[in-house]
Structure 1
Amino acid sequence: QVEGAALQAFGQSLFEELRYDGVAPSNATPLTYRVPLAGDLPHCYESFVLEQGGPGPFGAKGIGESGMLGVAAAIANAIEDAVGVRVTQIPFTPERVLAAIEAAR
Structure 2
Amino acid sequence: MEVLKAGKKKPSTKRTVHVSVRAPENVIKAINLLVDLGLFKDKSDFINYALQETVRKYLSSIKLEITPELIDKYFELLEKASPRLSEEEILKVLGDVLNERRTEKETQEGSG
Shorter-chain TM range is: under 0.3
The normalised TM-score by structure 1 is 0.25
Q: Which structure would you say has the larger Rg? A: 2
Report which of the two has the higher share of helix. Answer: 2
